[in-house]
Structure 1
Amino acid sequence: MRRKEPTSGRSRDTPVRRSSRLQPDRVGEQVSREPQSFRGSHVTDILSPRESIRAHRKQAEPAKDPSPSPPRGSSQSSEEAEAHEESGQTVLERDTTLLPQPNIEWEVVKDKRARLQVLETSQPRSTKARPQMERRTTASSQGRVENETFALGQQSRAGITARSKAPTMKKADSSKSQAGGPQKWAKRLLYRSVLYFLLFLLILGFVCWFAWEHGNPGSFLGLVGYEAWRWSSFPKLWNAVEECSSQCSLVLVESIPSTLDYETLTPHHPSIYQAWMDLLDGANSSVEIAAFYFTLRDSDVHVEDPSSKQGKAVFESLRSLPSRGVKLSIAVNSPQFSQYDTDELAHHGADVRYVDMKNLTGGILHTKLWVVDQKHIFVGSANMDWRSLTQVKELGAVLYNCSCLARDLHRIFAIYHILGKDGASIPPKWPADLAAKSGLTHPLKLQLNDTGGQLYLSSSPPALCSSGRTSDLTAILSTIEDAEDFVYIAVMDYEPQCTFCKPKRFWPVIDDALRTAACERRVKVRLLISCWKHSHPAMFVFLDSLRVLSYEPLHCPIEVKLFVVPSEGEQPPIPYAHVNHNKYMVTDRIAYIGTSNWSEDYFTRTAGVGLVVNQSEASAGTPGQTLRQQLEKVFIQDWDSPYVQPLSKHWECSRK
Structure 2
Amino acid sequence: MRREELARSESRDTPVRRSTRLQQDKVGEQASREPQGSEGSRAADIVTPRESIKASRKQADPDQDWSPSPLPLLGEGEPHEDSKRAVSERDTHLFPFVRLRRLDVPQEEEPSPHQNRAEEVSEPTIESEEVKDKRSRLKVRKTPQRRSPKTRPLAEKATAILQGMVENENLALGKQTRTRVTTRSKTPTSKKASSLESKMTALPTEGTPKKWTKRFLSRSGVCSLLLLPVLGFAGWLLWEHRSPGSFLGLMGYRSWRWSGFLSLRSGTAECSTQCSVVLVESIPITLDYASLNPHHPTIYQAWMDLLAGANSSVEIAAFYFTLRDSDIHIQDPFSKQGKAVFESLRGLPSRGVKLSIAVNSAQISKNEMDELVRHGADVRYVDMKSLTGGVLHTKLWVVDQKHIYIGSANMDWRSLTQVKELGALLYNCSCIARDLHRIFAIYRMLGKEGASIPAAWPAGLAAESSLTHPLELHLNGTGAQLYLSSSPPALCSTGRISDLTAIVSTIEDAKHFVYISVMDYEPQCIFCKPKRFWPVIDDALRSAACDRKVKVHLLISCWQHSRSTMFVFLTSLRILSYEPLHCPIEVKLFVVPSEGEQPPIPYAHVNHNKYMVTDRLAYIGTSNWSEDYFTNTAGVGLVINQSEAAAGASGPTLRQQLEEVFIRDWTSPYVVPLSRRQECAKK
Letter in 2 for 1:20: L
Describe the shift of the 1:236–1:600 C-alpha distance in structure 2 as closer, same or farther (beyond 3 A): closer
Q: CA deviation at 1:21?
A: 3.6
* 1:614 positional shift: 1.3
Partner residue, 2:507: 480
Is 1:174 equivalent to 2:126 in the alignment?
A: no
Alpha-carbon deviation of 1:190? 13
Give deviations 1:626-645, integer Å, cap 9, x for gaps.
11111111111111111111
1:367 aligns with 2:356: no
SS at structure 2 position matched to 1:174: coil
Taking the aligned partners of 1:437 and 1:173, their CA distance within structure 2 comes to: 64
How far apart are 1:295 and its partner, in Å?
A: 0.7
Number of residue equivalences: 560
Give the 3 Å change call, closer, same or farther, for CA 96–16 of structure 1 in structure 2.
closer
Deviations 1:311-330 (A, max 9, x none): 00000011111111111111
Equivalent-residue separation in structure 2 for 1:490 and 1:470 (angstroms): 22
- Closer, same or farther: CA 294–69 of 1 in aligned 2, 3 Å: farther
**What is the alpha-carbon distance in structure 1 between the residues aligned to residue 18 and residue 651 of structure 2?**
133
After TM superposition, give the deviation of residue 388 of structure 1 in Å.
0.2
- 1:430 match: 457
User: Distance in 1 between the 2:212 and 2:430 partners?
Assistant: 58
CA deviation string 1:250-280 (max 9, x = no partner): 1111000100001121111111000111111
Shift of 1:303: 1.1
For residue 558 of structure 2, the aligned residue among 518, 526, 531 is: 531
- Rounded Cα–Cα distance in structure 1 between residues aligned with 2:581 and 2:369: 53
Q: Which residue of 1 aligns with 2:413?
A: 386
1:125-170 Cα offsets, whole Å, 9 max, x none, are: xxxxxxxxxxxxxxxxxxxxxxxxxxxxxxxxxxxxxxxxxxxx99
Q: Which of these residues, 628, 650, 655, is aligned with residue 677 of structure 2?
A: 650
- How far apart are 1:187 and its partner, in Å? 12
The alignment partner of 2:567 has SS state of helix
Q: Which residue of 2 aligns with 1:540?
A: 567
Question: Shift in Å at residue 221 of structure 1?
Answer: 1.3
* Structure 2 residue 535 is matched with structure 1 residue 520: no
355 and 239 in structure 1: CA distance in 2 versus 1, 3 angstrom threshold: closer
Shift of 1:552: 1.1
- Of 69, 82, 97, the match for 1:92: 82
> For residues 90 and 209 of structure 1, what CA distance do their matches in structure 2 show?
72
Q: What are the equivalent positions in structure 2 for 1:207-286 lying under 5 Å apart?
A: 210-234=237-261, 243-286=270-313
**Contact 2:267–2:431 (8 Å) recurs in 1:** no
- Counting only pairs closer than 5 Å after superposition, residues 363-512 of structure 1 correspond to structure 2 as 363-512=390-539
Moved more, 311-320 or 426-435: 426-435
Alignment of 1:117-132 (within 5 A): none
Q: Say if 2:597 is the partner of 1:597.
A: no
TM-superposed deviation, 1:510: 0.2
SS at match of 2:291: coil
TM score, norm. by length of structure 1: 0.75
Q: 2:101 aligns with which of 112, 119, 142?
A: 112
Instruction: Give the residue type in structure 1 aligned to 2:590.
Output: F
Amino acid at match of 2:22: S
Aligned to 1:135: none
The amino acid across from 1:493 in the alignment is D
Asked if the contact 2:320/2:410 (under 8 Å) is kept, the reply is yes
Q: What corresponds to 2:106 in structure 1?
A: none
Contact 2:264 2:460 in 1 (8 A): no
The 1:500–1:50 alpha-carbon spacing in structure 2 relative to 1, beyond 3 Å, is closer
Question: Residue 174 of structure 1 aligns to which amino acid in structure 2?
Answer: P
Stretch deviating more after TM superposition (202-211 or 227-236): 202-211
The runs of 5 or more residues in structure 1 that have no matched partner are 5-14, 33-45, 58-67, 98-104, 115-168
Q: Deviations over 1:176-219 (max 9, x none)?
A: 859x9999989978999999999999877766654454343232
Structure 2 matches for 1:329-344, cutoff 5 A? 329-344=356-371
Amino acid of the residue matched to residue 93 of structure 1?
S
- Write the distance in 2 (CA, Å) between the matches of 1:315 and 1:383: 13
**Correspondence for 1:564:** 591
1:24-71, Cα deviation, whole Å (9 max, x unpaired) = 899876449xxxxxxxxxxxxx985488589x99xxxxxxxxxx9656
Question: What displacement does 1:400 show?
Answer: 1.2
Partner Cα distance (1:623, 1:547) in 2: 39
Q: In structure 2, how many angstroms separate the alpha carbons of the residues matched to 1:267 and 1:301?
A: 33
Q: Which residue of 2 aligns with 1:20?
A: 22
C-alpha change, 1:191 and 1:641, in structure 2 (3 Å) is same
Aligned counterparts of 2:501 and 2:44: Cα–Cα separation in 1: 129
Aligned-partner SS, 1:618: coil
For 1:347 and 1:93, locate their aligned partners in 2 and report how far apart those are by CA, in whole Å: 104
Distance 2:272 2:284 in 1: 35
- 1:21–1:95 contact (8 Å) kept in structure 2: no
| Cα separation, 1, equivalents of 2:266 and 2:490 | 32
Tell me the SS of whatever aligns to 1:452. strand
Ranges in structure 2 where 5+ consecutive residues have no aligned partner: 5-16, 88-93, 104-143, 156-206
Distance 1:374 1:335, change over 3 A: same
Larger radius of gyration: 1
1:624 is displaced (CA, Å) by 5.7
| Conservation of the 8 A alpha-carbon contact between 1:472 and 1:603 | yes
Partner of 1:143: none
* Alignment partners' CA distance in 1, 2:511 and 2:145: 101
Q: Residues 528 and 561 of structure 1 are in contact (CA less than 8 Å); yes or no, is this contact kept in structure 2?
A: yes
Partner of 2:374: 347
Paired letter, 1:581 = H
Q: Distance in 2 between matches of 1:412 and 1:197?
A: 38
For residue 388 of structure 1, what is the amino acid of its counterpart? S
Preserved contact between residue 20 and residue 96 of structure 1 (Cα < 8 Å): no
Check 1:482–1:186 CA distance in 2 against 1; reply closer, same or farther (3 A cut). closer
1:23 Cα deviation after fit: 8.8
User: What is the CA distance between 1:565 and its match in structure 2?
Assistant: 0.7
* CA displacement 1:512-551 (0-9 Å, x = unmatched): 0000011111111111111111112211111111011111
Q: Residue 611 of structure 2 corresponds to which residue in structure 1?
A: 584
Q: 1:501 to 1:112 in 2, by over 3 A?
A: same
Structure 2 counterpart SS, 1:342: helix
DSSP-derived class of the 2:83 partner = helix
CA distance in 1, matches of 2:677, 2:265: 61
Task: Name the counterpart of 2:181.
Answer: none
Contact 2:324 2:342 in 1 (8 A): yes
Q: What is aligned with 1:133?
A: none
Q: Secondary structure at the residue paired with 2:422? A: strand
CA RMSD of aligned residues (A): 4.5
**Per-residue CA distance 1:58-114 (angstroms, 9 max, x = gap):** xxxxxxxxxx96569979999999x99x999777326778xxxxxxx9976622369
Q: Letter of the aligned partner of 1:111 in structure 2?
A: L
2:133 corresponds in structure 1 to none
Q: Secondary structure at the match of 1:382?
A: coil
Does the 8 Å CA contact 2:612/2:619 hold for their aligned counterparts? Answer: yes
For residue 14 of structure 2, what is the aligned residue in structure 1?
A: none
Q: Tell me the distance in 2 between the aligned counterparts of 1:604 and 1:72.
A: 117
1:521 and 1:334 map into 2 onto residues whose CA distance is: 44
Q: Which residue of 2 aligns with 1:627?
A: 654
State the alpha-carbon separation in 1 of the partners of residues 42 and 301 from structure 2: 140
